[in-house]
Structure 1
Amino acid sequence: MIIFDEKRHAEEILKKGFKTKNKTVFETFILAKYFFYIGLDETKVKQRIIKFYEKFQEDFNLDEYYKVINRTINYAINSKLKTDKKVHITQYELDIIQSLNNLREQKLAFVMLVLYKFNNFNKFTVSLEDLFKLSELATINSKTRLQLLHKLTSNGLIDINTRGKRWVKFSDKRGISVLNINDFDNFIWEYLHYIDEGKFKKCIECGKLIRITNYKNKYCDSCRSIKNKEKYIKYNMKRK
Structure 2
Amino acid sequence: MLGLIVNEKIICEKALADKYIEGKPMKIIRLIIKKYLNEKLTKEQVFEKVDNFMKEIYKDKYNKSYWKKVISDSINTVSKYNNYNLINIEKIDIYKEELDIIESLNDIRLEKLAFVLLIYAKINKIINPTSDGRININLAYIFKESKLVSDKKLLHKLVDIQYILTSKICDSTTMKINYINEEGEVRLTVFNLNDLNPITYYLEYKLNETYNNCEICASRFKQKSKKPRKYCNKCAKEIDKEKAKERMKNIRNFQ
Asked whether the two chains share a fold, i.e. TM above 0.5, the reply is: yes
Distance 1:55 1:220, change over 3 A: farther
Name which of 62, 65, 77 aligns with 1:63: 65
Distance in 2 separating the partners of 1:194 and 1:177: 13
Distance apart, 1:203 and its partner CA: 6.8
User: Within 5 Å, which residues of 2 pair with 1:193-204?
Assistant: 193-201=204-212
1:124-203 correspondence to structure 2 within 5 Å: 124-137=135-148, 140-141=149-150, 145-162=151-168, 164-185=173-194, 186-201=197-212
On the 8 A contact 2:211/2:222 being kept in 1, the answer is yes
Does the 8 A contact of 2:90 with 2:193 survive in 1?
Answer: no
Task: From 187, 201, 223, give the equivalent of 1:212.
Answer: 223
Aligned to 2:37: 36
TM superposition outliers: structure 1 runs of 4+ over 4 Å: 202-205, 207-210
Gap runs ≥5 in structure 2:
126-131, 237-255
* SS of residue matched to 1:29: helix
Taking every aligned residue pair, what percent have the same amino acid on both sides? 27
Describe the shift of the 1:29–1:151 C-alpha distance in structure 2 as closer, same or farther (beyond 3 A).
Answer: same
Q: Relative to structure 1, is the Cα distance of residues 100 and 209 closer, same or farther in structure 2, using a 3 angstrom cutoff?
A: same
Change (3 A) 1:127 1:208: closer
TM-score normalised by L of structure 1? 0.76
**CA 204–126 in structure 1, closer or farther in 2 if over 3 Å, else same:** closer
Q: What is the CA RMSD across the aligned residues, in angstroms? A: 3.0
* Structure 1 stretches lacking a partner, 5+ long: 225-240
Kindly provide the CA deviation profile for residues 126-151 of structure 1, in whole angstroms up to 9, marking residues without a partner as x.
101111111122xx24xxx1111111
Give how far 1:220 is off. Answer: 7.8
Checking the alignment, whether the CA contact within 8 Å between 1:2 and 1:130 is kept in structure 2 is no
Structure 2 residue aligned with 1:92, among 81, 97, 104? 97
Given that 2:91 and 2:193 are in contact with CA atoms closer than 8 Å, whether structure 1 keeps it comes out as: no
In structure 2, what is the Cα distance between the partners aligned to 1:46 and 1:220?
Answer: 42
Count of equivalent residues: 214
Distance 2:213 2:134 in 1: 33
What's the TM-score once normalised by structure 2's chain length?
0.72
